[in-house]
Structure 1
Amino acid sequence: MVSRHTLIFFLIFFLIGCSPVSPTGTAVSSTPTTPPTDAPTSAPDYVAQIRNAQYQLSLLDSLRVVQLADGKFEDGAPGSADYVSVTVTDFIARGDLTRDGVEEVAALIAENYGGTGVFVFLVVFANVDGEFTYQTAALVDDRPALNALSIEGGEIFLDAVTHDSEDPFCCPTLRNTRHYRLINGQLDMTDYTTFTPDERPRTITIESPVNGTEVFSSVQIRGAVAIAPFENTLAYRIYDVGGVELSAGSLMVTAPDLGAPGTFNETILIGNILSGVTIRIEIQDISAKDGSLLAMDSVELVVK
């Protein structure tokens, strides 16, 4: 017969043997542990500089420069005639726009003057002795939906949803992408693509000539369209470097069917332009319904 003391001994031994232990032999705590979290990262220095830079109001006719503080500026009472509010969005990109080895910064900045309109501008800041300084701006739209902003290959890329001709001011529906180049201190849009309701891109691509080609009194323009334009007709416009229109006309697209992909290959007369002048030719798809721009591509040429 097993004695009472022997039973107690075996019971204690059994309880000790069933206690949970860790792989190292120490007892496992029943208190849950909190997983480590990543330390917050600060914004890049150039972002902080833009959010605290001087900014030139772009919608006003008169020159006014304001000082941003943490990405904002506000002056006047809301509803008053002199009210102004400026907000730097989260869309900020850095890259070399002038191919001189010094990077510029592009930012999307919103201006409001007390009404419902929130006017978003694409703004370029130049690096002047290590400090980013306002250089120029171009209007994007009133209350656009912003998707992406980047700088690559010396150009700014913007993806946004802006207003179609029949959209209410509150609700833009026209998705589009575009590229800008910084030319003579100003932003020039070099291409523009809109998307159909089923997300088909309406693009124009100039395949020849390439930027910098020397031309004489005429130039052969060859390219393609993703969606053939109305009546297979595209427009062209010739501008000087200051944006002054020098001439305009039309060219035909060859396509197998309405709205199908097509090609163009025509000679454009340049006219009497002085030798050595740089010109920009834009090939455009213009809406027959309201005259708005549906697609565009451009090329810069040098007149001999």
Structure 2
Amino acid sequence: MRRKLVPVVALSMVCLLVATTACSPGSRKKRNRSADGSTGTAAKRDDVDTATTRATPTPRRTGDQLACVELRNTRVGSRKVRYREYAAPIRLVDGRWSDRDGTTVELQRPCAVGDLDSDGAGDAIGVVMLDGGGTGRFFTLAAWRNVDGEPDYQAQVDLGDRTPVESVSVRDGRATVVYLTRSTNSPMAELNIRRTAVYQLRGTSLAKLSHTDARATEASADGDTADSSDSGTVPDGSSPARKRKSRSR
């Protein structure tokens, strides 16, 4: 009987020792440490994911200069600077705007980009033409400032009726436009002067600094042509006298 009890008692002691070891403070600490370690890892991952989700999107970088293509879908005129007699700005769509009465405004091809207001950003200067449905075609030289990378209508100058623009350029803060016009008392259909005018942006106006006229070889209403070899600087408000060729008797 005693021999049978000894193994049973020994086995019971072994089981009790194993249970005590498993429940010891050291084991609890190890378990707690491993649990803390996994929790900490999860917390770190959560922090990374949260930071990524809440990250502020990178703001759009403002360009150093405008592009001529941007003028095809921008405003012509402003509250301060009215285009023609329109109280509100008009919005070009793909370079064109039309009214219910058939009047159209179209952006012309000549355009240039350069710093017009000395702020280091490239502004734009272009030409728009208004067609009222009759014989008139009214050309306007317009300037757009670069405001936070967007074109903002700033100033304009009327170039006249049926005075197509050949080129526009910007250099040293000044805009140069070359367009065709006519001398005093010439018919509207005749374009016998090629004018090169220089403008400077001053606030909400384009101030004319000077202009130079040259004879343009253009067909007149009666089929004659003007001599294109004569040129010279002309004060504002005047036109060069037309030369008459002597007739042989």
TM-score range, shorter chain: 0.5 to 0.7
Matched, 1:55 2:79: no
Q: Higher helix fraction: Structure 1 or Structure 2?
A: 2
Contact 2:111 2:126 in 1 (8 A): yes
Contact 2:181 2:193 in 1 (8 A): yes
Inter-partner Cα distance in structure 2 for 1:103 and 1:191: 23
Could you list the per-position Cα deviations for residues 118-141 of structure 1 after superposition, in whole angstroms to 9, with x for gaps in the alignment? 101000011111110111110112
1:179 is displaced (CA, Å) by 0.4
Inter-partner Cα distance in structure 2 for 1:117 and 1:285: 24
Could you list the per-position Cα deviations for residues 166-196 of structure 1 after superposition, in whole angstroms to 9, with x for gaps in the alignment? 3322332111111000012310010111124
1:89 is displaced (CA, Å) by 0.7
Could you list the per-position Cα deviations for residues 19-73 of structure 1 after superposition, in whole angstroms to 9, with x for gaps in the alignment? xxxxxxxxxxxxxxxxxxxxxxxxx97222100001126222x523111111001
Inter-partner Cα distance in structure 2 for 1:183 and 1:145: 24
Inter-partner Cα distance in structure 2 for 1:103 and 1:126: 8
**Match of residue 124 from structure 2:** 105
Q: Higher strand fraction: Structure 1 or Structure 2?
A: 1
Q: Which runs of 5+ in 2 are unaligned?
A: 1-64, 216-226, 241-249
1:285 is displaced (CA, Å) by 6.9
Q: TM-score, normalised by structure 2?
A: 0.60
Matched, 1:185 2:194: no
CA RMSD of aligned residues (A): 2.3
One-letter code aligned to 2:199 = Y
**Match of residue 46 from structure 1:** 67
The 3-state SS of whatever aligns with 2:119 is coil
One-letter code aligned to 2:169 = S
**Match of residue 138 from structure 2:** 119
The 3-state SS of whatever aligns with 2:67 is helix
One-letter code aligned to 1:161 = L
**Match of residue 92 from structure 2:** 68
Contact 2:124 2:145 in 1 (8 A): yes
**Match of residue 189 from structure 2:** 170
1:200 is displaced (CA, Å) by 2.8
1:293 is displaced (CA, Å) by 4.6
1:96 is displaced (CA, Å) by 0.3
Task: Kindly report which structure 2 residues correspond to 1:109-258, keeping only aligned pairs within 5 A, or say none.
Answer: 109-196=128-215, 197-203=227-233
One-letter code aligned to 2:96 = K
Could you list the per-position Cα deviations for residues 260-296 of structure 1 after superposition, in whole angstroms to 9, with x for gaps in the alignment? xxxxxxxxxxxxxxxxxxxxxxxx376xxxxx355xx
Matched, 1:94 2:113: yes
Tell me the number of residue pairs that the alignment of Structure 1 and Structure 2 aligns.
162
1:88 is displaced (CA, Å) by 0.5
Task: Select the structure of larger CA radius of gyration.
Answer: 2
Inter-partner Cα distance in structure 2 for 1:202 and 1:190: 16
Q: After the TM superposition, which parts of structure 1 deviate over 4 Å for at least 4 consecutive aligned residues? A: none
One-letter code aligned to 1:68 = L
1:198 is displaced (CA, Å) by 4.0
1:101 is displaced (CA, Å) by 0.3
Inter-partner Cα distance in structure 1 for 2:231 and 2:236: 13
Q: TM-score, normalised by structure 1?
A: 0.49
Contact 2:211 2:236 in 1 (8 A): no
Inter-partner Cα distance in structure 2 for 1:137 and 1:177: 17
